[in-house]
């Protein structure tokens, strides 16, 4: 199977994450999308994160009704900080029957040379790059293992979600209903 690896903090997961993953399953050649909740992103070491287990639970709540999505704590069992190359190496070792495609935004593609072992990561793996506002890419300049996905552009971020919640905004339609209920019940009463 062709598995899209959507690795991130998901702090919290929101409708743009879900819509993009849904697009990849329905319009691209991806059989499943695995949401790998990252315990600590090396580029976000100073950021406040909701607890790892809560972020994983929120992902599970959000994707429960779609059979082509999987929530994973795979990176919880790897050394911290979590480096994408180590994750993909371990995924390929653990699941040799699958072909993995790393899903990243155009913003991350433009900073890709700063990633740990980026040259090896690029040489040994398939990447799917989705558009992000303000980060134009020339598809013809992408390496052979990298494909630009022509998904809709979503201008929602987890930072926006957290800020809006902290300000007491009612943003129920930016989150899956079960995620919104869980967050409001336990964290923003």
Given this model, what pLDDT does residue 25 score? 98
Specify the pLDDT at position 41: 56
Q: Which residue has the higher pLDDT, 84 or 46?
A: 84
Summarised one tens digit per residue, pLDDT across range 37-46 is 998 655 555 5
48 pLDDT tier (thresholds 50, 70, 90): confident
Half-sphere exposure of residue 70, counting CA atoms within 13 Å on the CB side?
12
Number of other residues whose CB lies within 10 A of the CB of residue 7: 22
In 10 A of CB 166, how many CB atoms? 9
pTM (two decimals):
0.92
**Angle, nearest 10°, between helix axes 52-63 and 177-186?**
150
Containing domain of residue 160, as a range?
2-186
CA distance 119 to 124: 9
Q: Which residue has the higher pLDDT, 46 or 82?
A: 82
What is the share, in percent, of the chain residues with pLDDT greater than 90? 83
- pLDDT value, residue 188: 64
Domain CATH code at residue 115? 3.40.50.620
In whole angstroms, give the CA distance from residue 29 to residue 175: 26
Token pair belonging to 170? 């009612």
Q: CA-CA distance, 80 to 186, in Å (whole number)?
A: 27
Q: How many domains does the chain have?
A: 1
**Mean predicted confidence (pLDDT) in 7-14:** 94
pLDDT of 114 higher than 60: yes
Cis peptide preceding 83, ω within 30 of 0: no
């Amino acid at each position: 199977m062709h598995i899209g690896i959507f690795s991130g903090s998901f702090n919290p997961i929101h409708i743009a994450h879900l819509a993009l993953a849904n697009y990849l399953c329905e319009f691209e050649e991806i059989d499943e999308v695995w949401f790998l909740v990252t315990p600590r992103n090396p580029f976000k070491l100073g950021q406040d994160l909701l607890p790892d287990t809560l972020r994983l639970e929120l992902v599970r709540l959000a994707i429960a009704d779609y059979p082509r999505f999987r929530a994973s704590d795979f990176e919880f069992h790897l050394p911290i900080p979590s480096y994408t190359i180590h994750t993909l190496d371990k995924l390929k070792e653990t699941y040799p029957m699958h072909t993995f495609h790393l899903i990243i935004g155009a913003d991350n593609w433009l900073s890709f040379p700063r990633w740990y072992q980026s040259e090896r990561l690029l040489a040994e793996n398939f990447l799917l790059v989705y558009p992000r506002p303000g980060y134009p890419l020339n598809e013809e300049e992408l390496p052979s293992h990298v494909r630009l996905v022509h998904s809709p552009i979503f201008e929602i971020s987890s930072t926006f979600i957290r800020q809006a919640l902290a300000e007491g905004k009612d943003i129920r339609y930016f989150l899956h209903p079960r995620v919104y209920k869980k967050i409001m019940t336990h964290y923003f009463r």
